[in-house]
Amino acid sequence: MQMNDVRCRSSAGERKAKVEVALARLKSLKCQVSELRAQCEALKTLQSEKQEALACNECGKLISQGQEVTLKDSFGKVKSHYHKDCFKAIWLSQNWRFDYSSPGFLRMSGKDE
C-alpha cells in the first residue's frame, strides 16, 4: 500500500513535470518551425534564382545551362529533364518517335496508342 501511495504522488508530480517539459518543447518546436519556414522561404528564393540548375532524370546530376533536354507530356506539362548526352543514350536505347501533335514533340512509340 505504501508503495502505491508513493507511486501516486510521484506520478502526479511527474505528470506536472511532463506537461511543463511538453510545453517547453512545444515552445521550442514553434521556434524551430518558424526558423524552418524562414529557411524554406530562403530556399525557395534561391531555387527560383537558380532555375537553370535542373537535375537530370537519368543520372541525377545537375544540368548546366544550355545542356538540358526537357520532356513534356501531351498536356504541355514538364515531365523530366535530361543532359543532352544522357538523353542521347536513352534515345538510342529506346524507341522514340516525333509526334508533332503533342507539345513535347516526343512520344515513346506504342505507349499512347
Min dist CB 82 to Zn ion, Å, is: 6
Site stretch for Zn ion (CB under 5 A), options 6-14, 23-31, 75-83, 89-97 = 75-83
Site stretch for Zn ion (CB under 5 A), options 3-11, 29-37, 39-47, 81-89 = 81-89
Site for Zn ion in 9-28 (CB under 5 A): none
H or E element, residue 107:
strand 106-108
Q: Say what the alpha-carbon torsion angle 63, 67, 73, 74 is, to the nearest 10 degrees.
A: 160
- Say how far apart CA 106 and CA 57 lie, in whole Å: 16
Site stretch for Zn ion (CB under 5 A), options 19-27, 73-81, 83-91, 94-102 = 83-91
Site for Zn ion in 40-69 (CB under 5 A): 56, 58-59
3-state DSSP assignment of residue 69? strand
- Amino acid letter, 11: S
Of 87 and 107, CB closest to Zn ion: 87
Closest among 36, 38, 44, 86 to 61, alpha carbons compared: 86
Binding site for Zn ion (CB under 5 A): 56, 58-59, 83, 86
